[in-house]
Amino acid sequence: MRTRGTAIGLMLTAVLLGACSGSDSGGEGGDDATAEVMGPKSPGTSLRIEGVADEVPFDAPLHLSVPQGQIDSVEVAPEGGEPVSGELVDDGAAWKADDQLEPGAQYAVTVVASDRFGHEHTLNENFAVQAIPDSQRLTLSMQPADGSVVGVGAPITVRFDQEVTDKAEVERNMHVASSPQVQGSWHWISSTEAHFRPKEYWPSGAKVRLNLDLNGVKAGENLWGGRSYDLDFKIGPKRVTHVDAASHTMTVKVNDKVEHTWDTSLGSPEFATRNGTYIVLEKFDRKRMTSCGANITCDKSSPEYYDLEVDNSVRLSWSGTFVHSAGWSEGSQGSENVSHGCINLSEANGATFFQTARYGDIVTVTNSTRGPEDLVKRGDPGMADWNLKWQNYVAGSALGKPITTTAL
């Protein structure tokens, strides 16, 4: 086999002979020969971005590289969004994002890199991040309702459809803003329910916003937040109702001024209404109430059996505590406790209370013979938020500390 040097030498000999003998091709032959002598122009090095296929994984930070190149700068940004933070690694041979990208989103990447000859190249690619599969997606519901006006004791409630095992990571991405700002805390009632409340009651007229920035947040093994959620609500008048089991009275205050004082009847000694601070949860124009449903008795022959359609029913606990109209007990209201645990009012007073009650209004019961501990332990939504000392409520936060809401 001939070497490249031998080939070039032979070509030079041919060129010189042709020139002495006088070529018919004239100058054109000379130009062609010169091109052969100089050899082909050195080709540029082709660079490409690796790590941005059509879809990149949602469960790991983006990691890209430029084979045979040295990365000078990287910009990765979603459509219309801010660039993603990241850093060069492996001595500039690769780049890694600081955080995971948003699942299901489209991104553009621009990389400036130098090839082995020192030539600078600008490389552009577009890619999508995989969406989270439905089987691995965290889903939830929230309360209060978006755009609602609620009472001063209203907790923010987030109920998850799956068990959250990485509570700290989820809580870190649940943001509360308000005007005015308040100190508050998240509290996990269970692995499927988290509440937020302020240290003191919300100020009347306050505006509150919840942002759950959960898209791509790991909530547990093979469980990821699949989107972000937002809701806004407003705090209405300060409506606090005090029920005294000993004097059989109900006092309703609005913005700290007494608006109503009514006779009432609470639970009889064997079915005593629990002391404690309740919140209004929901209300019904008419609700069927049965002793069987209340786990009292299903025996129709028992004197404790009842099956009633009850007007103006305002729920205070999931265990079955209501304020409602009770025409049948009006003779005892103001003098004796005769109910199965509910707070009875006259037909007229029950209707008035029903018309003005809203989610998050406060109802306190004192001087009864039973405490709230069992319902607090069970995480009953009506009792779980305002019957714990503040330090115990904060201890239920996965992050273990109170927060100050951001300015709204």
Active-site residue set:
324, 342
166, 220 in Cβ contact below 8 A?
yes
Query: How far apart are alpha carbons 109 and 140 in whole angstroms?
Result: 33
Residue 162 tokens read as: 């799956």
Query: How far apart are alpha carbons 104 and 291 in whole angstroms?
Result: 51
CA angle 325, 328, 334 (to 5 degrees): 75
b/e per residue, 206-229, with b = 16+ CB within 10 A?
bebbbbbbbbbbbbbeebbbbbeb
CA angle 79, 80, 81 (to 5 degrees): 90
b/e per residue, 124-134, with b = 16+ CB within 10 A?
ebebbbeebee
The residue among 306, 302, 326 whose CA lies nearest residue 314 is: 326
71: Cβ contacts below 8 Å, ≥ 6 apart: 65, 88, 92, 93, 94, 95, 111, 112, 113
DSSP run (H or E) holding 170: helix 167-171
Query: How far apart are alpha carbons 110 and 76 in whole angstroms?
Result: 7
Residue 201 tokens read as: 């009651």
195, 385 in Cβ contact below 8 A?
yes
388, 376 in Cβ contact below 8 A?
yes
Q: What is the largest CA-CA distance in the chain?
A: 138
Query: How far apart are alpha carbons 212 and 156 in whole angstroms?
Result: 12
